Amino acid sequence: MANSKFEYVKSFELPDTLLPNTWVVVRIDGRGFTKLCAKYNFEKPNDKRALDLMNAAAKAVMADLPEITIAYGISDEYSFVFHKSCTLFERRASKLVSTIVSTFTAHYIYSWSTYFPDAPLSPPLPSFDGRAVCYPSVQNLRDYMSWRQVDCHINNLYNTTFWALIQLGGVDNREAEQLLAGTVSGDKNEILFSRFHINYNNEPEMYKKGSVVFRDYELVEPGTHNAERDADALAEPLQHTKSQAEKDRKRRGKAPIVVQHLDIIKDDFWDRRPWLLSNKPGKVPKEP
């Protein structure tokens, strides 16, 4: 029985290739996490278990997909960056997005009980949506990352003050909102300090800076590399020989994937980790 009579329907699948030589960011977001937070009693303003679970899932995604260069997460969202030379799945948007979303979700559900041993999952289950965006230049990519980290800061300072007012100050949601309306950062820092003796600078780094996930190699001296210029100058997807690509893959496999809470807005982070923009694996640190 031939299938040819119906096979014409395949021709309706239109291509969704992403422009070559651009950085691909796949950002995923929790669906309906406000309800989820309530259902499982997430702590306010930050639930360490929930963030650790997000980070564990992100690490697993990076281990599964060595083509990912770096990831950055805050709250219930995570951004995964493919190097501009990446040709995974022929750069088909739906393949890239769905694979990341699915792998992330799988690990989120799988690891839930590790981080919430006393709050077993029940339907409706946590889920995520995602989208892919292309950034042509290193500057665009870094501005994207900065945008997310500034958002982390703005939201966390607001939420920290908001929940301090409620949890420590005894006001209700509406009053807290009104007290914060129109305030700038300085005001919020002042409220925290003068009313609750909280120095915002001493808050945990994960809450203030979010989480950066990447393969860790030996740091280089700033000023000895110019990965950004090198990266922009790359005209086309790197045409490694196959054996070189295989070597790179092995070196990546050996590199530990780390989760850190660093400033990714300033140059220093990028200058000292040239492998992020160059896509050439760095030097694996020796065991001590």
Closer to its own copies by CB, 97 or 217: give it: 97
Closer to its own copies by CB, 232 or 248: give it: 232
Distance of CA 64 to the CA centre of its chain: 15
- Determine whether the annotation assigns residue 169 to a binding site: no
- Determine whether the annotation assigns residue 29 to a binding site: yes
Residues in the chain: 288
In angstroms, give the least distance from the CB of 273 to its own copies: 20
Rg (CA), the chain: 22
- Determine whether the annotation assigns residue 76 to a binding site: yes
The answer to whether residues 84 and 225 touch, using CB atoms and an 8 Å cutoff, is no
In angstroms, give the least distance from the CB of 258 to its own copies: 18
Closer to its own copies by CB, 6 or 174: give it: 6
**Cis ω before 45 (30° cut-off from 0):** yes
Closer to its own copies by CB, 143 or 267: give it: 143
Outline where the chain has alpha helix (H). 4-7, 33-39, 48-64, 93-115, 138-167, 173-180, 185-196, 205-209, 227-233, 242-254, 267-271, 275-278
Residue 203: count of CB within 10 angstroms of its CB: 17
In angstroms, give the least distance from the CB of 241 to its own copies: 16
Alpha-carbon gap, residue 157 to 168, rounded angstroms: 16
In angstroms, give the least distance from the CB of 186 to its own copies: 10
In angstroms, give the least distance from the CB of 247 to its own copies: 23
The sheet with strand 128-135 has its strands ordered as: 128-135, 23-30, 77-82, 68-74, 211-215, 257-260
Closer to its own copies by CB, 84 or 273: give it: 84
Alpha-carbon gap, residue 164 to 44, rounded angstroms: 9
Binding residues for GTP: 75-76
Binding residues for Mg(2+): 29-30, 76
